Amino acid sequence: MPTPDDMKGSPARPRRALARRNVSILSPLRYPGGKKRLAGYIAAAIRLNGLRPKLFVEPFAGGASVALQLLNDGLVERIALGEKDPLLASFWKTVFNDHEWLIRALRDTEPTLANWDRFKHGPHRDDRRRALACIFLNRTSFSGIIAPGAGPVGGRAQTSRYTLGCRYSVETLTRRIEQAAALSGRVLFVNHGDWRHTLRRVKARKFETGEVLYYFDPPFYYKADKLYRFYFDGAEHRRLHDALGGLGQPWLLSYDAARPIIEMYAENGIGPKRVELLYSAANSEKPAETHELIVTSLPKLPGSRRLWRTADEWKSARRF
Ligand SMILES: C[S@@+](CC[C@H](N)C(=O)[O-])C[C@H]1O[C@@H](n2cnc3c(N)ncnc32)[C@H](O)[C@@H]1O
């Protein structure tokens, strides 16, 4: 968790990365665009604003890494997840309601190309089969992508050093599924549906203002069609922007730092908000920076804007 130094962000001090110390829970999914690295930053924002959310809502759940971490750390009382992709929605429903079946099914399913084809093309008749297809395809497809264009790890020929089963460790997946399932008593719901439907379900619960914190991580502006089975067109990005003004609860949004999105949120149409660019220097030899756009209605954001350490910083951190 961030130290007070991370919060100050004073230019006179070297800024420290918001490194993920005490990593205690990992999503079973290696999801493209997964935001595990943002969990520490969002935890710091929750503390900094003195929030004690009764409900943390992720209407674009994907791998749900932020919600799981905050729930596990006790920073939020309960979570609600929403997701339009039926494979993912069924996966989370099954993890929280039926995980023993899923673990048994994983053990009985070999990482073979025949199984990959079967899961890729369906049909998937119920939550259980969709959940199994989701985790199987996620762990055996290139970069965890379950969208139509992504092929199996190692290709059809399976001649590469990395073969189909290299990320399909039943032991590791069992552990991660069990860790997530242990939190199920504090999962209000998993909604299979569009983000607006998840918002309606939360609003129907009549929480007081300030009791809910929304975290939106919508499909990227660029290249989302290569990563996800469901994604936005330009009008949908705008509709999400317009909806934020009427939420009546605090919210936080993350995006790829695409210029049209930065410009849209820099306009002052949805009331008071802060726009922040987070960056990482991937490593010292190759200082390519990755930017993440953060927009929020919260009055304060952590001072540190670094999410990762450089390779050199990790080495020197280990010395102490
Ligand atoms: C950037 S990913 C979320 C990643 C997630 N935060 C994580 O850490 O793994 C966006 C997700 O939004 C989902 N999605 C796309 N269109 C949607 C919609 N209209 N309503 C709800 N979810 C949608 C996609 O299927 C994808 O899983």
Q: Are 147 and 229 in contact (CB under 8 A)?
A: yes
**CB of 255 shorter than 6 A to ligand 1:** no
**Residue 5 has which token pair?**
């130094």
What pLDDT is stored for residue 4 in this prediction? 30
Tens digit of each residue's pLDDT (9 = 90 or more) over 153-187: 999 999 988 999 999 999 999 999 999 999 999 99
**CB of 83 shorter than 6 A to ligand 1:** yes
pTM, rounded to two decimals: 0.88
Tell me how far apart the alpha carbons of residues 68 and 53 are, in angstroms, rounded to a whole number.
14
**Percentage above 70 pLDDT, the chain:** 84
Q: Are 164 and 173 in contact (CB under 8 A)?
A: no
Tens digit of each residue's pLDDT (9 = 90 or more) over 9-50: 333 333 444 444 455 788 999 999 889 889 999 999 999 999
Helices marked H in 214-310: 224-227, 234-244, 259-266
Q: Which atom of ligand 1 is nearest to the CA of 197?
A: 20
**Percentage above 90 pLDDT, the chain:** 73
Is residue 314 scored above 50 in pLDDT? no
**CB of 195 shorter than 6 A to ligand 1:** yes
Domain ranges of the chain: 21-254
The larger pLDDT score, comparing residue 269 to residue 110, is at 110
What pLDDT is stored for residue 160 in this prediction? 87
What pLDDT is stored for residue 217 in this prediction? 98
Residue carrying the six token digits 């959940």: 131
Whose CA is closest to 173, among 87, 73, 128, 106? 106
Pairing of strands 212-216, 251-256: parallel
Tens digit of each residue's pLDDT (9 = 90 or more) over 234-262: 999 999 999 999 999 999 999 998 999 99
Residue carrying the six token digits 């990365």: 17
Q: Whose CA is nearest to atom 18 of ligand 1?
A: 194
Q: If you measure from the C-alpha of residue 184 to the centroid of ligand 1, how many angstroms do you get, rounded to a whole number?
A: 21
| Length of the chain as a residue count | 320
Is residue 317 scored above 70 in pLDDT? no
What pLDDT is stored for residue 247 in this prediction? 95
**CB of 144 shorter than 6 A to ligand 1:** no
What pLDDT is stored for residue 22 in this prediction? 52
Tell me how far apart the alpha carbons of residues 18 and 114 are, in angstroms, rounded to a whole number.
43
